[in-house]
Chain A
Amino acid sequence: MITIVKIIISLVLLVHLSSCADSLNKYSQPIEKIKPSETLDSEKIENATNFQYSYDDLPTNYNPKSDPNADVDELGLWMQIEKIERNTITSGNIVKNEEINSYIKKVFCKVSPEYCNEIRIYIIHMPFFNASMYPNGMMHIWTGALLRIQNEAQLAALIGHELSHYLKRHSYEAYERAIQASGTATIAQLLLGAAGLGNISSLINLGMTSNFYSYGRNDERESDGYGLVLMARGGYKPEEAANLWKRIINTSKKLSLLEVSIFTNTHPSGPEREKKLRELSKIIPYSDSNFIGKKEYIEALKPITSLLIEDEIKHGEFESSLLLFDKLINDEFYLPYIYYARGELYRTKKKNIDLSKALENYKISEKYNSLAAKNLYKSIALTYIKMGNKKNARESFNKYISLHPDANDTNFIKSFMETL
């Protein structure tokens, strides 16, 4: 009798012991993929000779909250989104540099003078291509997008595209679908992660979220069309929208399993999309719009170029970063930074470090501009140390110190050199 009681008690204890320990987060089921209806609107099927999208179709005074269909659900939604906006502002994860923010604002206002003062744009520190528009007029652009975009017209295309999702209520409806489909409510937590306000590992959730909150083909088609109108009205060359899409595809080829291209997930489309955009840009009635702005874009990004590339090195995957860097070299963008970054990739890989390749790339960076990448000579020195070449290492350290006498680690390096 007592034996039985003791056995029961030890079972109780075991149960209790397990609840005493920290409980792990119980994420077991992925969210079901929610697809909006895929039937195409028959009226909007493109006719190759007729550009369907008119600026007049877009509201000039869109106020998301004044929709006559607003109900309690919507109120809950606004609260969630406002919370995301508050978190965005206070998260510490946004780029606050004034010059770059006013540049992006300037481009936005060219694309849409009417909404110039209403939309808030935040640049989020995330090294992947993504931009999103929230139903309350907040836009997020990730630093990875800025690094991959090739010119001002492409930036305008991205902005125009996202703004169209907003003005045509796609953003709102996608959000609503997500709410309704889950049968419960919003997934603000995941969306916070999706907003890039969590750490990089939250990308697992991102992948899940982007399946959850995505635009359908109709919406994409519409936003492509209206996006072209908006950018063209701003004077930008419409064909750059097709080039932007091509760029997204080209730089997304080597993403690892975990690093889904969030943008392509939230904006599903087939490979013909680039082709479609190009066709549309040929028939759009704004033949005078031909500003591309490659130089202007690169120039405007100068204050944050090294930051963008550092982010990519730190958090990117070797294969996909290498691919991106190859593309940037082709474009001849940020060359001294890119070669330095390639050097870093080869030097700091987890497996199969390639010191001679690293050195090669550092040397090229040096030729272009030895002052661009601040840590260039430090990295060269570290490479020489690993190669066993102490003399050259010392030389490089000395170069670093003479170029950056006020660097925050000069004393450390000097002392380290004495032990060589």
Chain B
Amino acid sequence: MKNAKTYIKLSLFILAIGILTACKTFTLVEKGQFTDPVGMNVKPEINWNQHKYTNKEYAWTIDGEILNQVLFLSAGENEYFLPFKNRWGLTDPKSPQFNKNITLLEIPDLFVKGVELFGAQLTIVNIDPVTFLDNDGFKLNFEFITEDGLEKLGIVYGTIVNDRLYIMAYGGAVIEFYGKGVSDFIQMAESATL
């Protein structure tokens, strides 16, 4: 009798805590502190709001993900890195997948295809070589238009380390919102380490 009651109380407690924490989608990322979403160590100089999607997909935002959004992504062998899911929650096989045989040169194209699967019309502005995560990487600048016709800008840093793909991307509305986070994003990307 006593055990049953304890058991119920304990499970209610756990349930309650679980719900309480599950309810909050966004957590605060404080400026000036190191943090390492998806293993990429960065130090933001402004406050951000973090939304963890999965262990390998984190997003940060200032004003809401519709307006501006940083993506932290990572993928290993045969893993999808921008999985486009249909209404039944199944990943569309056209989603970009990473594997050991893919060269760094091909990643920007794959990223672009992944974004376009979501319905955006995308134009590449330029792709430059950079050092990202202390490795040879690329920086991709692009413009895109959402399904609703809103114009946005994007910037992506990517590299392959130990047969794993790492990407930090930032996008936002051309009017005002891209500009709000881009300098901090670039600062973080260019000093990020694993």
Contacts and interface: CB of A to CB of B under 8 A. Distances in A.
A408 B101 contact: no
Contact of B89 (A16, A17, A24, A202): A24
Given A24-B89, A382-B105, A93 B121 contact: yes
A13 B117 contact: no
**What interface size band does chain B fall in?**
35 or more
Interface in B84-117: 84, 86-87, 89, 92-94, 97, 101, 103-106, 108, 113, 116-117
Contact of B4 (A3, A20, A90, A315): A3
B194 interface: no
B113 A314 contact: yes
B121 A200 contact: no
A289 B147 CA distance: 43
A90 B113 CA distance: 22
Interface in A296-350: 314-315, 350
Nearest to B104: A416
Contacts of B9: 6
Contacts of A415: 129, 136
A315 B118 CA distance: 12
B126 A20 contact: no
A357 B163 CA distance: 27
B64 interface: no
A409 B129 CA distance: 9
A155 to B, nearest CB: 24
Contacts of A87: 149
Contacts of B5: 3
Interface string B1-28: 0001100110110011011001100000
B119 interface: yes
Contacts of B124: 408-409
Given A200-B117, A201-B86, A409-B126, A90 B101 contact: no
Instruction: Report whether over half of chain A's contact residues are helix, strand or loop; otherwise say mixed.
Output: helix
Contacts of A350: 93-94, 97
A291 B119 CA distance: 39
Interface in B19-57: 19, 22-23
A411 interface: yes
Interface residues of A, number: 42
B62 interface: no
A90 B86 contact: no
Contact of A382 (B11, B97, B103): B103
B136 A16 contact: no
Given A199-B117, A314-B116, A20 B23 contact: yes
A35 B149 CA distance: 34
Contacts of A416: 103-105, 129, 136
A61 B118 CA distance: 42
**Which of A90, A125, A199, A202 has the largest count of B CB atoms less than 10 A from its CB?**
A199
A412 B128 contact: yes
Contacts of B108: 409, 412
A352 B95 CA distance: 17
A53 B163 CA distance: 67
Contacts of A204: 86-87
Contacts of A20: 19, 22-23
B126 to A, nearest CB: 4
Interface in A100-129: 125
A401 B99 CA distance: 27
A199 B147 contact: yes
Contacts of B104: 416
A49 interface: no
A419 B136 contact: yes
B24 to A, nearest CB: 10
Task: Tell which of B84, B103, B125, B151 has the most Cβ of chain A within 10 Å.
Answer: B103
12 contacts: A9-B12, A10-B11, A10-B12, A199-B119, A201-B117, A204-B86, A204-B87, A315-B116, A382-B103, A385-B103, A412-B127, A414-B129
Q: Which 6 A-B pairs have the closest CB atoms?
A: A199-B119, A92-B145, A415-B129, A409-B127, A408-B126, A90-B149
